[in-house]
Amino acid sequence: MLLRHSVFHEALFPADLSGVESFDRDKQDFALRRMVHFSVPPSTVLHDIPLILFDTETTGLDSELDRIIEFGALKIVGGKVVDEFWSFVRTDIELTQNIINLTGITQPMLEGQPEISEVLPKFLKFINGSIIVAHNAEFDMSMLKAAGNRLGFEIQWPCFCTLKLARKALPGLPRYNLDTLAEHFKLTFEARHRAVGDVKVLNGVLQQILEDDELGITTWGDVSDCVVA
């Protein structure tokens, strides 16, 4: 039912969403120039639709000059983790020492890993039919859209931002980064500044907020002011 709101052009993603492992830029140049988008009615209950919590690690903060080097995502249905997505992404951009120190990801770890042209289609299939969620979503969405643009297609997939949501739901905190929210909710990181590690903590934060009956956050419309288009 909900999948009718999700549009993946047949030339880009076949109807069964199988067999698409990577883009061949020479053979599919025309097919790549498509829009990939998703929408749901404001009345959609968040508990009833898959939520994809995702995070990216990157070579830097500039969506045009920098590149994604790691994807991590959890699929949540009814508050439960039902699936996981993770991948390194090989890039020609040399990692700075600052990024290595921050993420623990080194250049040798990316050697032999798939390029974005292989990873991004898999990630888009993973989020099909789902609402996506990220912390400081403007950044992750800018990186995701830029990656799509370089492959020749446009991603229009509204994402609600848990940074905005936390500011709305938890007034008075000194900061709203994941470290502060983890401390507030007594959550621990498996690995900070690694995509899946951050997403697992993000899931804990999100579930605590959604389970707070006093906040009354139950539908997509309830988080409309936290959406990054």
List C-alpha distances in Å: 16 to 12, 71, 127, 154, 159: 12, 23, 14, 21, 24
Model confidence at 11, pLDDT cuts 50, 70, 90, reads very low
Residue 14 included in any domain: no
pLDDT on residue 33: 59
Report the CATH number at residue 127.
3.30.420.10
Residues 74 and 86: their CA atoms lie apart, in Å, by 9
Q: Exactly one of 9, 37, 184, 193 is catalytic; which is it?
A: 193
Q: Positive or negative, the Cα torsion across 171, 176, 178, 183? A: negative
Q: Which tens digit of pLDDT belongs to each residue from 103-132?
A: 999 999 999 999 999 999 999 999 999 999
135 included as an active-site residue: no
Residue 16 included in any domain: no
Q: What is the pTM of this model?
A: 0.84
Q: Which tens digit of pLDDT belongs to each residue from 67-94?
A: 999 999 999 999 999 999 999 999 999 9
Could you tell me the two tokens for 199? 């997403």
Residue 17 included in any domain: no
Per the structure, the complete domain to which residue 126 belongs is given by 2-8+41-228
Residue 21 included in any domain: no
Residue 10 has pLDDT above 60, yes or no: no
Count of domains in the chain?
1
Residues 180 and 100: their CA atoms lie apart, in Å, by 23
pLDDT on residue 5: 42
Residues 94 and 114: their CA atoms lie apart, in Å, by 16
